[in-house]
Every structure is written in C-alpha cells, then in structure tokens.
Amino acid sequence: MTHTLKPLQAVIFDWAGTLVDFGSLAPTQIFVEAFGSFGISITLAQARGPMGLSKWQHIHTLLQDQGIRAQWQQRFGKEPDDADVDALYARFMPLQIAKVGDHSQPIDGAAATLAWLRERGLKVGSCSGYPRQVLDVLLPLAAANGIAPDHVVAGDELEAGGRPGPYMALANMLALRISDVASCIKVDDTVPGIEEGRNAGMWNVGVTLSGNEVGCTVVELAQLADGERGALKRQAAARLRAAGAHYVIDSVATLPQVVEQIAARLAAGERPPAV
C-alpha cells in the first residue's frame, strides 16, 4: 500500500502557469489586445505585472500605471474610472474565452503529480484569477488531459473578493473539508497567488520556470543561454520568496519532493513559518 503523508491533507493549485499553459501566455496577450482595441498600447511585461489578480482587478490595476493612465487621459480626455474598467473587461472576456483553449495543454509532469498526490490520500484543490466563464471552457479540456482537481474556485465568484486575500484558498479548504490551514500547501506562479496562500496561513510553493514571473514558452526558454535562463529563474524566485513562498521549484513536475519535506516538518510539529 502506498504510504500516506499525514498530517498533510491537501494541495491547492493555481491554473495558468502552474498546472496548464506553460509561461502563462493565454491571459497576457489578451490584455494587450483588449487595451489595443481602445487605442491604448501596453507591453507584455506591463500586462504580466498584476497577474494572479481577478481579471477585473487586473485591468483596474493596469489603469493605475502612470504611463497607461496618461495614454487614457490623452485619448479620452478624462481619468479612467470603474465604468472604463467594465468596458475593458467586456472587451477582454470574449477574447479570453476564445483563446483559452489554445493554451489548455498541461505543463509536463502536472498530471503525474496530481496522480501522485491522490495515491497518497491528499485532496487536490485549485483557484484562479480566471472568471468562471473562462474556466468553464478550460476545465473540460484540461480534464481530458488528466488535470481535474477535486474543487475549483474562480476569480469572480466570491463576494469577499480574490487575491491577494485568502478567500479562494479558504473556500477550497471548506469545500474539501480540511481541518487545519497548516495541513494545506498552496502552489502558485504569481506574487498575488503566493500572498493568498500566506494570508490563509498555508505552506506556499512558488513556481518559476513554467510561470508568469519568467513568462517564456518552452521553446523560448530552451533557446536562452544558461546564464540568462538562470538569471530569470533567480529573479522569479526572489519575487516569490519575498511574497511568502517557503519553497521554490521550476515546475509542478518536481513538487512531490517538496510535499514530502513539508509533510515531515508537519509531522515534527512545525507550522508554516512567517515569511
């Protein structure tokens, strides 16, 4: 019989950049296109900045950027307001729904990692900055490739709000009937997603090479010189650790070793340390 990892009870994952969509590409380009349709030019790097927030909040945050805000004022003769966020969000949504399927491929090792966790009696939760309409497209495509968590919380469906608050992580805990926040691990590739897990009192594992903080496709990453790839990885790790990550990994393919380490620390009486 496969050994258990008690007292560990659950692992809660982000989606894009963590379980699927290497490089977190699906949302990034759509933000550029949505702003462009209003005559506002933003870079991919700017679009990545607030990644992990709910998409409405992401757009709102982008509009606070000094350069983007100045473009809006020049084009429309006024400061952007919530109605403008609503308009951009309405433009963003159909574009995202149309494109998310193109980026639904699992990250290498993700399906095997989920199977490994379940073999050891752990529950698998998940949450996302994606709204429910986008997840409704993504989830069946991911499930067909072995990515099917026990519970999914969308970025727009909790009245309390999304990241960096703890609410989506805690909603998973309630739905999965987890008895202790310290028995949960949050795995995420974004700063707000790690802050979410920290604010929920969970163990946090940051993901570098497959995620938003590096932001490269598999091919782009392979084409980088070792030194450049290493620098990007170190920068991503530093940001995720500063946000509250207790461990940092390249991708979910290597998560099992970290899970075993956390389980041993829990069994020894440790709680997630403050970061």
Residue (of 260, 252, 268) closest to 111 by Cα position: 252
Within 13 Å and on the Cβ side, how many CA atoms surround 103?
25
Say which amino acid occupies 270.
Answer: E
Catalytic residue annotation: 14, 55
User: What b/e string do you get for 242-254 counting C-beta neighbours within 10 Å, with b at 16 or more?
Assistant: ebbbbbbbbbbee
Alpha helices in the chain, H assignment, sequence order: 25-36, 44-48, 55-62, 66-76, 82-99, 110-119, 132-143, 167-176, 191-200, 218-223, 226-243, 255-267
